Structure formats: structure tokens, C-alpha cells
Amino acid sequence: MRFRLLPNTLAVQLILVVAGAVAVSNIGVAFYFYKQSEAQTRNFSNERVIDRTAAVAATVSQVPPDSRLVVMRTMGRLEWRFREANSGYDKKPMTAEETALAKRLADALPDKHPRKKAVIVHLHEPVANIPEELRPPRASTADTDTEVIQTIVPIDDHSMISGVLLRPTADWPIEVMIAALIAVVTASVGAALVARRVVRPLSELTTAAANVAMGSGTPHVAEQGPDDVRSAAIAFNAMAAKVTRTLESQRHLLSAVGHDLRTPLTAMRINLEFVKDDELRDGLLRNLDELQVLTEQVLAAAKGAGGEQRRQVDLSALVESLCADLDEMGEPVSWISHSPAPIACRPNEIKRAVRNLVENAVAYGHKAEVRISDTNDGYEVLVEDEGPGIPEHDRQRVFEPFVRLESSRNEATGGTGLGLTLVKAIAEGHGGAVNLESRPGGGLCARMRLPRLAASV
């Protein structure tokens, strides 16, 4: 199963690509601003740590020991806490950044401050490593892996003060995200307008090409849209007009040829009545009948979807009446009943195509079983036989004019090799197709697909 990353339609693909590009670019901008904001927040926090800790340490070192707690509580906040720490605090190694900040903190202390070289700074200390009595109030609801900034500053020869700051986190730039959403919506609307301007002429071009393929007159595509699309529409209109003129000329020529051929054939048939030799006359009449049949089938196959107008009919009733006629003639044809199947078609052509398939099945497969099945957009006429079938490599070749597979069909049955050619021309003239398949139990199944077209087509 093939997985598709994008939808099939050009309009949806264009909208998704434009919206995706705008979204990715704005997310990149938002991420950049987030990182910048995070760096600014970190630098601001470091500056706050140095200033606040230096002020608290300098003040506390100047007051009596019994007043220190009052000063530290006064200088504290929900995200800050200053408390006296054990003078035997386990000093962990500091990073280069922490060492530089510790030096700056020491320089910010008064010149006579005791043990300035013992200042410690830890920028990424997990809150779980901080004793509970030293944590700021807001840290009680934080995760254990939340990072805090801790400073240790001596305040006399025996005491140290611990300052703990709950590290603030940078918020995503909401304004940038809102702007990104607006940009995505605006770009999608713009892409939809451009896609509509491009896709609408292409859709008309596709419909017109399908109508030309089905022989539904000479459609004209509006020559509008971007230059490339307009040029394609102009070229298509010129091509469709030329093809239509060529086909009309061919049909007129074939009609004239058919008329001219029928006249001498009729004259020859009349003249043969004066031939006294019965054996000779019968042989010439057989040859003349074969020539007559060949002429009619050549004309029908060449015309394909001719001048008959489409109209709404019941395909089920049409096929059933054909099978009933053949059954009355003694042909081994069976029909499997089907509910009404409304379809817009050229009924005489469809009847001729189905008749050719049924007669082939009877002639080469001993019997014909005919039925109709429903598809998503139309119907399938299935004609099954019990004959020897056709090798897979020859199933397309038999649709070519005058091709007869003598190795798989009885030569005594005759035929011109144009029956399946005519079936294919009629099916494709209705926007459908025909193909041959082997039956699991032996025999051949001819499957003619016909779309359920609108009656106005």
C-alpha cells in the first residue's frame, strides 16, 4: 500500500505547502525569540543574585546575631530565601561561569567583609539538593528536578548565609505565536485564491478533454487565468477544433464511401439472380454476404461513437431485452436479473456492443451468461462463457482490427475480427473501458465498464 504525504488535488497541496512553510518559519522565529528571552532571563537572574546577595550579606554582617533572621526574612520573597547555613558547608566544585560570578559577588561585598574568597555560587542546583529549611516558599510546589541558584557567603569567621533563588523560566512569546497563527490563516486564504484561479481553468480543461474523448461535441475552455494556464487553454481549444473537424471529415468520408459501396453491392446481388449455375451463384452470394458484413462492420468500427444522441435509459432493461431476443432465436444465453440501472448513453451503440460480446461468447465459449454489477460511478456488464479462454498475452491484441486468434478460437465460426474492436470503441466513446479476464472455473469473462453519466452530457 502506497502512503501519500500530500492529497491528490493541486489546490489542497498548494494551501498545505504555503501554510506549512509559513507555520515552520514562524515557529522558527518564535523558538529564536524564546532562546533569546531565556538567555536574557538567565543573565538578569545572575545579576539579581549578585546584587541581592551582596546587599543581604553586607547588612547581616553588621547586625547582632539575634537580629540576623529578621533582616533575612525582610529581604526574602516567595522565590527568595536567605538563611544562615552550617559553616561546615560542603563546597562542591564550581564551573567557570560560577567561578566568575562568585568573584563578581566577592568584589561587590565591602572591602572589610570577612572571608570573601570563600564565596560559593551554584547556578544549576536541583531543588532536591537544598535542605528544606533553606528553600524559598514557592519551591515547595516545584518539581524535585527544578533548578535553583544558590549562593553561600561568609558573614563572620564562623557563620555563612545561604541565598536560594527559584530560577525563573522564560515564557513562550505568545505575541509571536498569535502573529504566526494570523500569518498562517492569511497565507492559506491567499493560497486558496491563487489555487482557485489556477485550478478552475484546469478543471474545465479536464472536463473538456473528457468530453472530447467521449465524442460529446467541441467544448470550449475559457481562456483565462495565469499566462501558462491561459496558453494551455488556447492550445487546447485549437486542438479540439482541429480534431473535431478531422473527425467530422472522416465521418462524412466514411458515409460517402459506405453509400458508394452499398450501391455496387446491391447491383451485384441483383445480377447474381441471373446466374444459372446454382453452385456458382450460391458461392458468389456467400462471398457477397461476407463482403456486405465486412463493409458494415468496418464502417461501424471506424465511426465508433457516432451521431446518436445520448439519452437516459435503463441499462438493465436494455440488456435483458437483448438477451430475450437471442434466447428466442435459440441461442444459449442466460440473463441474471438486476434492479433498474439508469444511465445516460447511446442505447443502440451499447446494445450493439453487448450483442457482439454475447455472440462471441456463444460462438467460441458454447454459452453466454450475462449480468450487471454496480460500481462506485456506474455499472459493469459481464458476459461469461465456458470456452477455452484467451492467453493473457493476447487479451489486448484481440481488440485490434482484424485480429483473430485461430489457436484459441474455432476457425469454422468465421468472423471479421472487428467485433471486439467495435466494442472497445463504443465503451471508450462512453468514457468506459472493456477488458477480458479468465474465469476461475474455466472460460472467459468480458467486462465492459460504463460510467453513470448525467443525462445532459
Three-state SS sequence of 269-284 = HHHHCCCCCHHHHHHH
188 within a domain of the structure (yes/no): no
Q: Give residue 259's pLDDT.
A: 65
Residue 456 predicted with pLDDT over 50: no
Give the model confidence (pLDDT) of 192-217 as tens digits.
777 777 777 777 777 777 776 665 56
Which whole number is the average pLDDT over 436-446? Answer: 87
3 within a domain of the structure (yes/no): no
Residue 180 C-alpha cell reads as 504566526
Residue 417 predicted with pLDDT over 70: no
Cβ contact 421:398 at 8 Å: no
- Do 79 and 224 lie in one domain? The reply is no
Task: Return all residues near 217 (Cβ < 8 A) that are at least 6 apart.
Answer: 211, 244
- Do 58 and 129 lie in one domain? The reply is yes
Cβ contact 39:181 at 8 Å: no
Number of domains in the chain: 3
Output the CA torsion 283→286→291→292 (10° steps).
140
Q: How many C-beta atoms lie closer than 10 Å to residue 193's C-beta?
A: 10
Residue 424 C-alpha cell reads as 472497445
Q: Give residue 83's pLDDT.
A: 84
203 within a domain of the structure (yes/no): no
In DSSP notation, 337-405 reads -----EEEE-HHHHHHHHHHHHHHHHHHHS-EEEEEEE-SSEEEEEEE--S----GGGTTGGGSTT---
Residue 416 predicted with pLDDT over 50: yes
- Cell 572589610 maps to which residue? 112
Any idea how long the chain is? 457
Which of 176-185, 255-264, 294-303 bottoms out in mean pLDDT, i.e. has the lowest? 294-303
Cβ contact 443:384 at 8 Å: yes
Domain boundary among 303, 318, 333: 303
- Do 105 and 253 lie in one domain? The reply is no
> How far apart are alpha carbons 23 and 29 in whole angstroms?
10
Which whole number is the average pLDDT over 383-393? Answer: 86
Full residue range of the structural domain in which residue 285 is found: 214-303
> How far apart are alpha carbons 176 and 30 in whole angstroms?
6
> How far apart are alpha carbons 105 and 395 in whole angstroms?
92
Higher pLDDT, 435 or 252: 435
- Do 135 and 275 lie in one domain? The reply is no
Domain boundary among 303, 326, 345: 303
231 within a domain of the structure (yes/no): yes
181 within a domain of the structure (yes/no): no
- Do 436 and 315 lie in one domain? The reply is yes
Higher pLDDT, 369 or 224: 369
Task: Return all residues near 20 (Cβ < 8 A) that are at least 6 apart.
Answer: none
Which whole number is the average pLDDT over 29-44? Answer: 73
- Do 430 and 447 lie in one domain? The reply is yes
CA proximity to 443, closest of 335, 354, 355, 360: 360
Cβ contact 218:241 at 8 Å: yes
- Do 152 and 14 lie in one domain? The reply is yes
Highest mean pLDDT among 254-263, 297-306, 348-357: 348-357
- Do 137 and 155 lie in one domain? The reply is yes
Q: How many C-beta atoms lie closer than 10 Å to residue 40's C-beta?
A: 11
> How far apart are alpha carbons 256 and 195 in whole angstroms?
49
Residue 232 predicted with pLDDT over 50: yes
Q: How many C-beta atoms lie closer than 10 Å to residue 435's C-beta?
A: 14
- Cell 491528490 maps to which residue? 8
CATH number of the domain that 392 lies in?
A: 3.30.565.10
87 within a domain of the structure (yes/no): yes
Higher pLDDT, 216 or 121: 121
227 within a domain of the structure (yes/no): yes
Cβ contact 390:444 at 8 Å: yes
The model's confidence at residue 313, banded by pLDDT at 50, 70 and 90, is: very high
In DSSP notation, 209-249 reads HHHHHTT---------SSHHHHHHHHHHHHHHHHHHHHHHH
- Do 297 and 312 lie in one domain? The reply is no
> How far apart are alpha carbons 367 and 331 in whole angstroms?
8
The values of phi and psi at residue 118, to 5°, are -90, 10
Cβ contact 121:72 at 8 Å: no
The values of phi and psi at residue 448, to 5°, are -110, 115
Packing angle of the helix pair 278-303, 227-272 (nearest 10 deg) = 170
457 within a domain of the structure (yes/no): no
Distance of CA 92 to the CA centre of its chain: 59
> How far apart are alpha carbons 68 and 83 in whole angstroms?
9
Domain boundary among 137, 166, 195: 166
Cβ contact 198:226 at 8 Å: yes
- Do 315 and 412 lie in one domain? The reply is yes
Residue 38 C-alpha cell reads as 531565556
The model's confidence at residue 379, banded by pLDDT at 50, 70 and 90, is: very high
Residue 228 C-alpha cell reads as 501558462
- Do 329 and 369 lie in one domain? The reply is yes
Q: Is 233 exposed, middle or buried (0-12, 13-18, 19+ CB in 10 A)?
A: buried
What's the whole-number average pLDDT of the chain? 78
> How far apart are alpha carbons 366 and 360 in whole angstroms?
9
- Do 34 and 97 lie in one domain? The reply is yes
Which of 50-59, 163-172, 267-276, 387-396 bottoms out in mean pLDDT, i.e. has the lowest? 163-172
Q: Is 138 exposed, middle or buried (0-12, 13-18, 19+ CB in 10 A)?
A: middle
